[in-house]
Structures are given as C-alpha cells and as structure tokens.
Structure 1
C-alpha cells in the first residue's frame, strides 16, 4: 500500500533517502517508458484483433482481444509499480528489486500466440 501512495506523491519520493545520480533516475524512467510502450502495443493488438479479424470465431476473437488488453493493462500497472520500487531502492542505496513479470508476460504472450496459430491453421482459408 505504501508503494501505491508513492505513485501519486512525488514529494513522498523525495523524502526517501538521498537523491541518486540523475543518470540512474533517467535510465529508470526510460525503462518505465519502454514498459508503457509495450502496454500500449498490447492494448492496440487487442483492439486490432477485435476489429480486424471478423472471420475469427467470435468467442475466440473476444478471448484473444481481452487477453491482449488485459496483459497491456497489467503491463502498464506493473511499469509504474516497478519504477517506484526502483527509484526508492536507488534513493536508499539498496539493491534494485527483482521481478518475475517479464517472464510471466513472455509466457502469456507465447501461449496466446500459440492459440492464435492453432486457430489459424485449423480454420484454414
């Protein structure tokens, strides 16, 4: 819960430890922006599947679209949470936090891609 308050209160972040070298904070911000781009791409992919694949069986199309949008949503939330945790760790001189999220995201995208491939092969022209 404490991390969530730091999302919206920059002054609380300043109260954490000492200011790190600005290059590290900027690198942390670039990583955050990369995750946000990934989130936007996933949301866009979900919308594209829903709008541009009308021939795909409707329940499957909806499931693929919702999964992609859901992964994008999770990615965006994880991006800000990880940014705050890393910034706080740098300010405190602690090791950067580790996360399983990239592996979970990769496995989820792999499973989603396999499902789409199987559907395309089974559906045929």
Structure 2
C-alpha cells in the first residue's frame, strides 16, 4: 500500500469535518430529547415519540458514520485518490427536513 503523508491542512480539515458530524449528532440527540419533552397538548404522544425517535436515530447514524467517513477520506488523501462521495449528508439533511416539515404541518393543524 502506497502511503504518502498528506498536507497537514487537509488532514486538519478532515478532522474538523469529523468533529462537525459529532457536533451535529449531539444537536440531533438534544433535538430528539426536546421533542420527547414537548407538551402533550401540542402533538399526540405517538407523534412526539415518532419525531423524537427519528431525530435520535439520525444522531446515531451521524455519529456512527463519522469515523468511517474520516478514515475513508484520510486513506484517499494518503493515496492521492479522489475523495469518496458524501453518503451521510443527504441522509441527515433529508431526515431533518422531513422531521421539520412534519412538525410544521402538525403545529399548523393544531392551531
């Protein structure tokens, strides 16, 4: 396996991206916990639970995929190969958008 030491700026940028995914995971976890604590008068209990579970699952996916993604990018940098396409961003982006749209619709319907 040919392995070259990449430019430290790229390695540090890769590390910052990893840490950002971990921060995103923590924020999604907090959002899931907050959703579970929403007053019963706003959403039916099963809806709160569904939204909370989706947010916490997205948090788990983001945290669980962050290190393998860091490792893949680091390997590509060392081998001077093209970077792998981002698989995690669409999952988290569409998941959060889905939760937000559903919550918005339910808030508007409850008024």
Question: Would you say same fold, with TM above 0.5?
Answer: yes
1:77 aligns with 2:64: yes
In structure 2, the gaps of 5 or more residues are none
Using the alignment, how far apart are the partners of 1:108 and 1:66 within structure 2? 11
In structure 1, the gaps of 5 or more residues are 1-14
Computed over aligned residues only, the root mean square deviation of the Cα atoms, in angstroms, reads: 1.5
Equivalent residues, number:
110
Q: Report 1:71-110 matches (<5 A).
A: 71-110=58-97
Using the alignment, how far apart are the partners of 2:73 and 2:65 within structure 1? 12
CA offsets 1:3-31 (integer angstroms, 9 cap, x no match): xxxxxxxxxxxx87122121111110001
Q: 1:117 pairs with 104, 107, 110, which one?
A: 104
Using the alignment, how far apart are the partners of 1:16 and 1:37 within structure 2? 33
User: Normalized against structure 1, the TM-score is what?
Assistant: 0.81
Deviates most, 106-115 or 60-69: 106-115
CA offsets 1:61-102 (integer angstroms, 9 cap, x no match): 000000000001101112111101001111111111112321
User: Normalized against structure 2, the TM-score is what?
Assistant: 0.90
- Note closer, same or farther for the CA distance 1:85–1:16 as it changes in structure 2 (3 Å cut): farther
1:25 aligns with 2:11: yes
